[in-house]
Chain A
């Protein structure tokens, strides 16, 4: 397997939001919170590196250790029935459908698919380096069996550990396009044990760095 293209964490500039606006219409951009913007931009840069006619069929796998929590701005309430009813009303006022949807872990993957027209096999994996190793294994399997012409694997993580809200902090993101043959550095899938303790984005960044070094 070869890396046809890669975008590492350090390749993203400062103003990724402006770049994201270019790829997303208004309907999509309003669903892109700070957490989803970097992986969205990484994916779009990578899609532009492949032949346009294979985009609908490529596999899309996104990996992240980030999972949403309950927003802090709900506050804390006593547990009598009246207070609970007030809390429910406040939840529904604050957490609009748009806010709830944009906070789903698979939001970035879905907006990538919607804006690129990628219809192929797709999964959002939750986890760190071990999940990245599994993602690369899955992608390679599909390529090896000829199920897809290429596979896009993107990883992103919150800049601060255990942050739950999708709009509280930025994320870091990296991504690669894998093909079964052609030009590009050879892909080395790391052993699960070697990357288990890494964040997903750091594990994928390691894979990119390893490929670049082997190509030199």
Chain B
């Protein structure tokens, strides 16, 4: 069961402002002002409000993580003496360029995990490096621990602060980020034929997972049920998506089977949808492989069109969004969808949210290195 949600995103501090921005299609993406960039560089970025102008020497990721964790705890109604068995963190580490007097490694994944474990008063901690799929992998590991009775309460957190003057330029050098000449808020346009790369963002998202009986014992209010997890490897390339889409399709198929559902039980897919040429086409093919004819009835959207790509936090954030979508029976939109790509031919909830009865939904995360995760979530009926 999902019993608590927390988020810190470019849309705002908290799940409520984040969901509000996403469902209303209000993108916070703006020109990067935090540090100087060479002319011609990628400019749009998703910065957490209040941190637009400076890059502090201390860890931004830790600050984001603490706020998201605290919100999730409050949402779950967890008290100081409640036992947290395991904290699972997805994080890339946080670095700075070697400017005179500044530390270059501000935070490591293991250090941040230990800090979060301590703050959560958890017995055990686990740090996962899974690139953009790390958040989804963190949730997958948490679900596995609960299903096997190795844990009753697991806190899963994805966090990244890669809008720093080292990692930002590494991504730019991969030519993976958007350089399109447009308003920053329009740069992320998943599934659109004009798409040319992702918009780098930062933030954190946290979910509290509990075994059903553990949640019942403390009268917790579950938000949703996590029915299925699928994890696979594309085994193709460090960056490029596999042309046959078999890896991502495998993750989705395993998740549906794990949930003991049929593909046509899924009403909404929160796509990985990075707005890269490669991923969006590959994910479309993967969805068609898994859902067959039912794909034409699916609502598919990429909320990265609003938030940008929060990297390791994307998977956990998009589970938070998917839970909210199920609670409100609203499929959030893919904004900036103006010129359809004939190779991406699903229904992407273009530009406006859509009210629709939703019982089960899926959330996908795919990462550099071929990591694929897919989560199937169910609405709780009262």
Q: Which residues of A contact B (CB under 8 A)?
A: 31, 60, 65, 67-70, 74-79, 81, 84-85, 87-89, 91-92, 95-97, 100-101, 104-107, 109-110, 113-114, 116-128, 130-131, 134, 137-138, 140-142, 144-145, 164, 192
Contacts and interface: CB of A to CB of B under 8 A. Distances in A.
A76 B166 CA distance: 13
B266 to A, nearest CB: 20
11 contacts: A88-B169, A89-B38, A95-B173, A97-B173, A106-B371, A118-B235, A119-B246, A123-B231, A125-B128, A141-B145, A164-B105
Given A69-B95, A85-B38, A105 B129 contact: yes
Contact of A123 (B100, B113, B128, B238): B128
Contact of A70 (B145, B166, B246): B166
A75 B104 contact: no
B125 A130 contact: yes
Nearest to B149: A141
Contact of B173 (A100, A130, A134): A100
Interface string B92-129: 01011111110011001110010000000000111111
A65 B124 CA distance: 16
A165 to B, nearest CB: 12
Nearest to B95: A70
A114 B240 CA distance: 12
A106 B369 contact: yes
A95 B370 contact: no
A141 B247 contact: no
Nearest to A141: B148
A141 B148 CA distance: 6
Contacts of A101: 238-239, 368
Given A121-B232, A127-B113, A106 B173 contact: no
* 8 closest residue pairs by CB, A with B: A141-B148, A70-B104, A110-B369, A121-B231, A126-B127, A113-B235, A113-B233, A126-B109
Contacts of B108: 67, 126
Given A104-B131, A106-B130, A125-B128, A137 B173 contact: no
Contact of B235 (A119, A145, A164, A192): A119
Interface of B: 35-38, 93, 95-101, 104-105, 108-110, 113, 124-131, 137, 140-141, 144-145, 147-148, 150, 165-166, 169-170, 172-174, 231-239, 246-247, 250, 368-371
A67 B110 contact: yes
Q: Find the residue from A81, A88, A107 having the highest chain B CB count within 10 A.
A: A88
A95 B104 contact: no
Contacts of A121: 140, 231-232
A100 B168 CA distance: 12
Contact of B99 (A79, A107, A119): A79
Contacts of A100: 170, 173-174
A31 B368 CA distance: 14
A91 B137 contact: no
A206 to B, nearest CB: 18
Contacts of B93: 67-68
Contacts of B36: 81, 84-85
A113 to B, nearest CB: 4
Given A87-B98, A113-B235, A123-B128, A67 B109 contact: yes
Contacts of B250: 119
Contact of B137 (A69, A78, A123): A123
Contacts of A192: 124
Contacts of B172: 92
Contacts of B137: 123
Nearest to A84: B36
B97 A70 contact: yes
A31 B231 CA distance: 24
Contact of B238 (A31, A84, A85): A31
Contacts of B100: 76-79
A119 B247 contact: yes
Contact of A131 (B126, B145, B170, B237): B126
A124 B129 contact: yes
A137 B247 CA distance: 24
A60 to B, nearest CB: 7
Nearest to B371: A122
B231 A84 contact: no
A145 B258 CA distance: 11
B308 to A, nearest CB: 21
Contact of A84 (B35, B174, B236): B35
A75 to B, nearest CB: 7
A65 to B, nearest CB: 7
A142 B147 CA distance: 10
B232 A120 contact: yes
B173 A92 contact: yes
A107 B108 CA distance: 17
Contacts of A67: 93, 108-110, 129
A12 to B, nearest CB: 23
Contacts of A92: 169, 172-173
B95, B165, B238, most chain A CB atoms within 10 A: B238
